[in-house]
Structure 1
């Protein structure tokens, strides 16, 4: 996979976010900045999200239990422990060592392993090594070209009957903040986040069309099993959650 310098910028930003305000950076809430997330409540949001996803996957005829799960972009482990309730083993990967340190500290299961992955691929994992790949509130922060590559990697590491559940942002909503995302250049938004909102580091958002996702998955030999669109009023973005099958 070709090198993308903007990926290095994202990695540096999330190292800084992990150092200064990890739980808030993983699950942004206006009243939780500055270390105000209670860890128990933080992890409970993950359990609620995973429970809803498990119900959807069960409707599609997969799950509700898996052998080995990859939590891609695990951050502080918000979803990892919840996924462990439905799996024999969960491997959480992230680009940020401070985030992984927090994930290990908060982990109360005996089925989670947290692994640093600073590359634009999943080369440390062999083909057909996971039954489920799960990623939420992660791909939206990556450059589109990097998302393309990771989608191919998800297909590669899935076992023949495995699936991946992924969330990508598609376009800003027609709200005031959504209009800012639509009209302002990325560099100006990142500057405003640092200077006016005083974020420890900027949080980039990427428009990634469902048609592009389908093309990337099919080019890698996979297929899109199902998709759902949703409007996230907290982020002011429209997202698509997709379930893909491996090759």
Structure 2
């Protein structure tokens, strides 16, 4: 799958059901997410990440933050409570429209459309923190690796990236489907059977490969945590990376 196809799919998802596309949960489809509950999930996730960073003696307050794949701003708004400025970047115009409509940070969040397979609109050494969750897993593997390299490029020396990747399907019936079925078939099933507005890819990247890419581009994995996520039928890993 190309970047252009991924961009088109997420533009369609954002236009149809933005909050559900950002965070798939039972009972939330067809624009049934409660906005306060949606934003509270972002605050809870960021609070968990801050506690982790604090335990590693890493900063928990920043001048400049990049929220990659910001979607409807679930994490951008939560991060803004701990930053002077948060830049949310996404490929879907409708997602960014939703993020702007929901923004309650008094101008600390800026939503930016980026329709390129890189972060070239941002200069080197721009951000103190790069944060992303539930985003990389939906991209083709070469694009994941490109963006990991870009995270390190746009980080300031000593800056930190916190990002999540899926590592493998679980040993469940749906996990088995992801293991054995080609994505074009899954794509068709998502559109025809599940009636998704557009399909959602899931991509596995091994921890060893993540570490190799990070180290090749001037970073170091400080810590990582892995967990099984039964609701998605995937195992997921989150990494804390520091730029040398």
User: Which TM-score applies when normalising by structure 1?
Assistant: 0.97
Q: What RMSD over aligned residues (CA atoms) do the two structures have, in Å?
A: 0.8
Match of 1:105 in 2: 101
SS of the residue corresponding to residue 126 of structure 1 reads coil
Q: How do residues 179-218 of structure 1 correspond to structure 2 at under 5 angstroms?
A: 179-218=176-215
Q: CA deviation at 1:63?
A: 2.1
Is 1:166 matched with 2:143? no
User: How many angstroms apart in 1 are the aligned matches of 2:51 and 2:197?
Assistant: 36
SS of the residue corresponding to residue 229 of structure 1 reads strand
1:144-176 Cα offsets, whole Å, 9 max, x none, are: 101111111111111112100000000000111
Q: CA deviation at 1:30?
A: 2.3
Q: How do residues 11-160 of structure 1 correspond to structure 2 at under 5 angstroms?
A: 11-110=7-106, 111-160=108-157
User: How many angstroms apart in 1 are the aligned matches of 2:112 and 2:243?
Assistant: 23
Is 1:243 matched with 2:243? no
User: How many angstroms apart in 1 are the aligned matches of 2:3 and 2:205?
Assistant: 16
4+ residue runs over 3 A deviation: none
User: How many angstroms apart in 1 are the aligned matches of 2:144 and 2:174?
Assistant: 24
Q: Which runs of 5+ in 2 are unaligned?
A: none
Q: Which runs of 5+ in 1 are unaligned?
A: none
Count of residue pairs brought into register by the alignment: 243
Q: CA deviation at 1:232?
A: 0.7
Match of 1:177 in 2: 174
